Structure 1
């Protein structure tokens, strides 16, 4: 497994650099009671209901969207697909942007399709204006977009702490290593019981729940834990794009394990138990928290993205929502307190806004 570890190390350095540059202080962060499960309840593609979105900011952009003051009397449709991990953040911003106080005549349709499913089936074939992603776009996805005249604009909007969870009645494991995760989840594993991984653990069958291959969370876990050139993920687990199903599966079995974005754990702390993780560049096991994701200490911290199509930015209402998404990426109340992710630093947001404004200028001439 030494070769796999060395490949994972380079990946971890990239993720740590992406997730820690100047992030805001996050003392006292709490989760949004509506953050988890948003993708599950509306994954059929219907637009979400409007709402006030709530919340003030701490050290950044106005949550009322003053940065979009040049866009008035907007109307039109915006279609968004992609990552279930980014979905709760997109939903919170959609609710504010389409509120009566801002742009009630804009209708935003959100779909939770998985990062890869969104790129492959919707965004890169020109059927959506945005694709949310919990990992960077792949070369083959970029090629598909190019073949269809779609030019994606990469915008980092937050940082996540991918969370490995077990049943609350699991009293034999509180922390886990990359090597043990590899034994449990890799395609070349012969582990069928917990004791196969650690002789001190029970001789009970592993019951595994996780995302499908269409998920960016699947891709990230595969690359970071198993290794990009490793044997791949085992297939004998219950795969779903519905994060609530993973929560319910783990909650229902004492010997279950699953993984998903931190926002879904923070909304279900009474249902499942998060494991501390040792691996990558971490020194000892580190618990998944916003603070450890921000600092880069947590080895499964990762950047989150949204990708507007440059062509769609020619429409003022689409450009306005893209700018609002970037502006609010520093909003601690929304990103951290409501949803459960690490906000961008102002420096990161400024860099993303510069990228976006250049794309808007190109699109609108």
Structure 2
């Protein structure tokens, strides 16, 4: 009997221990699962999704395409294709709320700002790099070694029709013109600084695609064109850049140094992105994209052929972005 009681007691104690162990294992299992869920949930919070709508300048395009490519490595579920419709074309979409970011190689115009205000679009301007608008001729052009702003105006308004109209020693051949299209900020900048708002020569070939301009100049010995510095660098083996006489009477070629220190003037200029404030506040992917762009714009701008801003300007821009959030 005593043995039976002992056996019964042993069974009961064993059962209790097994139950306790089972509970303990259950808690451990639940804790591990919860930790896993927490980790998983945390990773899901970091895994951004959605789209960033970007359009605008073909000049700024290479910088932002590089930003999108690098950004996608960290956030593969965010789509951020870069449209190239020119600064003006980009602003047309931006001021009605169709895009989150508008790339521009010129500041927003008063009438564009007014349209944005009418449509309730509040925005912030950020500088991302410097550019030197580059005047190029055919590689076989052996007569042009420099041009003044007045020379450029005489040519591009059609007052001079042949190279010999600029210099009697130059060929008696018609000048062929290749220019960014009228929606381009580069066109606007050239029109303001060089042409002083006078009409451009009517027989110029216009295109929003700078590669069309590169090919046009490269294929015609009597051609001249202009576009952003990066496109010249990318095609310098097939094009000849023209030094431009600055206000000190010095013929200066666009380089990283002359663009940054301002001696390549008046054709040096800043490049911009305009950001919809509401998009920054309401779309996490837009905020992260713009932050990433500002943190990396200097390196990526140089990588694609432009000139970085001083670091303090990027730091200040990031502070401005944080204040929008």
Would you say same fold, with TM above 0.5?
A: yes
Q: Deviations over 1:279-318 (max 9, x none)?
A: 3x34311001111001001011100000111111121110
Distance 1:348 1:301 in 2: 17
Q: 2:161 aligns with which of 169, 192, 202?
A: 192
Aligned residue in 1 for 2:313: 348
SS in structure 2 of the partner of residue 236 of structure 1 = coil
1:322 matched to 2:297? The reply is: no
In structure 2, C-alpha distance between the alignment counterparts of 1:85 and 1:282, rounded to whole Å:
27
Following superposition, the deviation at residue 350 of structure 1 comes to: 1.7
Q: Equivalent residue for 1:202?
A: 171
1:106 matched to 2:74: no
Whole-angstrom distance in 1 between the partners of 2:164 and 2:120: 52
Taking the aligned partners of 1:353 and 1:272, their CA distance within structure 2 comes to 37
Displacement, 1:323?
Answer: 0.8
After superposition, the C-alpha distances for 1:221-248 in whole angstroms (9 at most, x for unaligned) are 1111122xx4232232000001010000
Larger relative contact order (CA 8 Å, sep ≥ 6): 1
> TM-score, normalized by length of structure 1?
0.75
Matches within 5 A, 1:183-262: 183-186=154-157, 189-227=158-196, 230-262=197-229
SS at structure 2 position matched to 1:348: helix
Matched residues in 1 for 2:107 and 2:322: separation?
A: 20
Give a deviation string over 1:176-198, Cα, whole Å, max 9, x none. Answer: 11010010112xx4221111122
Measure the CA separation in 1 of the matches of 2:256 and 2:202. 31
Out of 121, 130, 133, the position equivalent to 1:150 is 121
SS at match of 1:190: coil
Q: Which residue of 2 aligns with 1:115?
A: 87
Q: 1:1-365 residue pairs with structure 2 within 5 A?
A: 72-99=46-73, 102-120=74-92, 122-186=93-157, 189-227=158-196, 230-279=197-246, 281-299=247-265, 300-314=267-281, 315-331=283-299, 334-336=300-302, 338-360=303-325
Report the 3-state secondary structure (helix = DSSP H, G, I; strand = E; otherwise coil) of the residue aligned with 1:306: strand
The structure with the greater share of residues assigned to helix is 2
- The structure with the largest alpha-carbon Rg is 2
State the secondary structure of the residue aligned to 1:125. coil
Q: Which secondary structure state, in structure 2, belongs to the residue aligned with residue 352 of structure 1?
A: helix
Instruction: Answer yes or no: is the 8 Å Cα contact 1:282–1:298 preserved in 2.
Output: no
1:226 counterpart SS class: coil
Give CA-to-partner distance per residue, 1:82-120, whole Å, 9 cap, x none: 000000000001000011xx1011011211000011101
Question: Contact 1:158 / 1:335 at 8 angstroms: preserved in 2?
Answer: yes
Paired residues in the alignment total 280
Deviation at 1:330, TM superposition (A): 2.8
In structure 2, distance between residues paired with 1:164 and 1:153: 31
**Unpaired stretches in structure 2, ≥5 consecutive residues:** 1-42
Q: Which segments of 5 or more consecutive residues in structure 1 lack a partner in the other structure?
A: 1-68, 361-365
Q: What is the root-mean-square deviation in Å for CA atoms of aligned residues?
A: 1.4
